[in-house]
């Protein structure tokens, strides 16, 4: 603990000295989340992180999350330095959607509007007409559907199917999935619900539709969090990365949060819903990147300009 406090104090000083701000996702280490808040940074879902980084006056953004989040920050603020504690922090959706293959998929269906999830590389964003996050996906697709536009969607098939069902839009889906959310299991969740009939079930829409079907609330990490303090309930079953429980518990210390069951449970791991790439973010990594100016997200101006168009379109729409 003493060592951690020393590292935290050093990071606070480095942030000040480097005119830097810490932008963290709800899934990263709770100590990083607390430090971001204590130093005037942000903890949020991917949309909030992008907005915060773009609007903040700091010259350097330290993004604690996965690579697409660092890339989005850079795309929106090319004049800023964007550092990440670990540039190898990937995302299975991004990895499962190579830009050349996705581009060929789009080329084969030129009549369709291309809508991609934010969990993609800059190159995939550059091929898209729209970027969306889970918090605005339904609204944007509903808007496009109202204009009669058929859609290509990538990469998450579960989120795509959910949005298509909610909006009635014609959506051709790339078949990607998140290795964390894809593991939630409906049968076991039903069992847990039966044991806690009073509990409300919160599900991130990257989960399989059989799990989404059991939800009281479906939404982005921020929406799930919000429902825990707004809903009149004392117990919640949470189907998303368990990093979110830190903020949920902090906001509602007297409520009870249960992890939704995943495949591969064992005695030591009741629910295994932890993103291995989010877990690569540590206090030491933050200290290091601020000390050495390492882990910088770099991008050509051409790529950034092409990816910014659909990303900025989403931010303007969501305002
Ligand atoms: P949010 O947009 O809800 O933050 O989701 C990002 C993510 O990676 C979920 O797994
Ligand atoms: Fe990607 Fe899934 Fe990790 Fe989110 S939880 S960053 S979607 S692998």
pLDDT tens-digit readout, 39-73: 999 999 888 998 999 999 999 999 999 999 999 99
Range 160-189 average pLDDT:
96
pLDDT at 270 over 70: no
pLDDT at 268 over 80: no
Test site for ligand 2: of 47, 179, 220, 243, most ligand atoms within 8 A of the Cβ: 179
Q: Same domain for 156 and 79?
A: no
Residue 62's nearest CA partner among 302, 288, 304 is: 288
Test site for ligand 2: of 49, 208, 277, 281, most ligand atoms within 8 A of the Cβ: 277
Q: Same domain for 190 and 224?
A: yes
Q: Same domain for 241 and 222?
A: yes
Q: Same domain for 40 and 82?
A: yes
Domain assignment of residue 64, yes or no: yes
- Long-range CB contacts for residues 282-285, cutoff 8 Å, separation at least 24: 282/29, 282/32, 282/85, 282/86, 283/4, 283/7, 283/8, 283/11, 283/29, 283/31, 283/32, 283/35, 284/7, 284/85, 285/85, 285/86
pLDDT at 152 over 60: yes
Q: Which ligand gives the minimal distance to the CA of 118?
A: 1
Compute the radius of gyration of the chain from its Cα atoms: 19
Range 150-155 average pLDDT:
98
Confirm or reject: Cβ of 72 under 6 Å from ligand 1. Answer: no
Q: Same domain for 117 and 199?
A: no
Nearest residue (by CA) to ligand 2, atom 7, is: 178
Range 132-149 average pLDDT:
96
Q: Same domain for 104 and 83?
A: no
- CA 160 to ligand 2 centroid distance, Å: 15
Q: Same domain for 253 and 196?
A: yes
Amino acid 318: pLDDT? 87
Range 21-26 average pLDDT:
97
Q: Which SS3 state, helix, strand or coil, does residue 296 take?
A: strand
Domain assignment of residue 209, yes or no: yes
Q: Same domain for 10 and 57?
A: yes
Which of 137, 157, 173 is the last residue before a domain boundary? Answer: 173
Q: Which two tokens stand for residue 209?
A: 């539709």
pLDDT at 267 over 80: no
Confirm or reject: Cβ of 156 under 6 Å from ligand 1. Answer: no
Under the banding of pLDDT at 50, 70 and 90, the label for residue 264 is: low
pLDDT tens digits for 206-256?
999 999 999 999 999 999 999 999 999 999 999 999 999 999 999 999 999
Nearest residue (by CA) to ligand 1, atom 4, is: 45
Nearest residue (by CA) to ligand 2, atom 3, is: 275
Domain assignment of residue 56, yes or no: yes
Q: What average pLDDT does the structure give for the chain? A: 95
244 to 11, 38, 75, 124, 150: CA distances (angstroms): 23, 18, 26, 28, 34
Q: Same domain for 194 and 256?
A: yes
Amino acid 319: pLDDT? 81
Domain assignment of residue 316, yes or no: no
Domain assignment of residue 225, yes or no: yes
Under the banding of pLDDT at 50, 70 and 90, the label for residue 154 is: very high
Amino acid 286: pLDDT? 98
- CA 278 to ligand 2 centroid distance, Å: 8
The residue with tokens 């060929």 is 104
Nearest residue (by CA) to ligand 1, atom 2, is: 46
- Long-range CB contacts for residues 217-224, cutoff 8 Å, separation at least 24: 218/162, 219/134, 219/135, 220/45, 220/46, 220/47, 220/133, 220/134, 220/135, 221/25, 221/26, 221/27, 221/45, 221/134, 222/26, 222/44, 222/45, 222/47, 222/48, 222/135, 223/45, 223/135
Confirm or reject: Cβ of 211 under 6 Å from ligand 1. Answer: no
CATH number where 55 lies: 3.40.50.10800
Domain assignment of residue 311, yes or no: no
For the entire predicted model, the pTM comes to: 0.93
- CA 177 to ligand 2 centroid distance, Å: 9
Q: Which two tokens stand for residue 263?
A: 């495949």
pLDDT tens digits for 291-300?
999 999 999 9
Amino acid 272: pLDDT? 75
Number of domains in the chain: 3
Nearest residue (by CA) to ligand 1, atom 3, is: 220
Domain assignment of residue 305, yes or no: no
Nearest atom of ligand 1 to the alpha carbon of 204 = 3
Nearest residue (by CA) to ligand 2, atom 5, is: 275
Amino acid 1: pLDDT? 84
Q: Which SS3 state, helix, strand or coil, does residue 4 take?
A: helix
- CA 199 to ligand 1 centroid distance, Å: 23
Nearest residue (by CA) to ligand 2, atom 1, is: 91
Q: Same domain for 52 and 98?
A: no
Domain assignment of residue 318, yes or no: no
Q: Same domain for 168 and 187?
A: no
Higher pLDDT, 48 or 200: 200
The residue with tokens 């010259």 is 59
Domain residue limits at 103: 93-173
Higher pLDDT, 288 or 265: 288
Query: Which string of DSSP letters, residue by residue, matches 80-139?
Result: SEEE-S-TT---HHHHTS-HHHHHHHHHT-TTSEEEEESSS-HHHHHT-SEEE-TTTHHH
Under the banding of pLDDT at 50, 70 and 90, the label for residue 22 is: very high
């Amino acid at each position: 603990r003493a060592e951690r406090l020393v590292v935290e104090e050093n990071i606070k000083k480095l942030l000040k000295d480097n005119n830097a701000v810490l932008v963290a996702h709800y899934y990263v280490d709770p100590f990083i989340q607390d430090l971001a808040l204590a130093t005037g940074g942000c903890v949020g879902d991917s949309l909030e992180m992008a907005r915060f980084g773009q609007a903040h006056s700091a010259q350097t953004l330290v993004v604690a999350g996965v690579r697409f989040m660092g890339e989005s920050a850079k795309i929106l603020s090319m004049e800023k330095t964007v550092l990440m504690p670990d540039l190898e922090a990937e995302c299975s959706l991004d990895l499962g959607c190579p830009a050349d293959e996705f581009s060929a998929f789009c080329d084969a269906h030129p009549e369709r509007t291309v809508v991609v999830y934010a969990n993609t590389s800059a190159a995939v964003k550059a091929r898209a007409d729209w970027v969306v996050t889970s918090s605005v996906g339904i609204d944007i697709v509903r808007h496009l559907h109202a204009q009669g536009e058929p859609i290509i969607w990538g990469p998450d098939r579960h989120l795509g199917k959910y949005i298509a069902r909610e909006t009635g839009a014609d959506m051709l889906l790339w078949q990607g999935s998140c290795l964390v959310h894809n593991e939630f299991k409906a049968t076991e969740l039903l069992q847990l619900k039966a044991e806690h009939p009073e509990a409300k079930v919160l599900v991130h829409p990257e989960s399989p539709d059989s799990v989404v079907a059991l939800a009281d609330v479906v939404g982005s990490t921020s929406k799930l969090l919000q429902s825990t303090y707004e809903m009149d309930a004392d117990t919640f079953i949470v189907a998303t990365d368990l990093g979110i429980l830190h903020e949920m518990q902090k906001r509602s210390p007297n409520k009870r949060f249960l992890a939704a069951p995943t495949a591969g449970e064992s005695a030591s791991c009741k629910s295994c819903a932890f993103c291995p790439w989010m877990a690569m973010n540590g206090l030491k990594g933050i200290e290091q990147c601020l000390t050495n100016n390492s882990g910088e997200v770099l991008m050509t101006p051409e790529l950034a300009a092409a990816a910014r168009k659909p990303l900025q379109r989403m931010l303007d729409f969501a305002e």
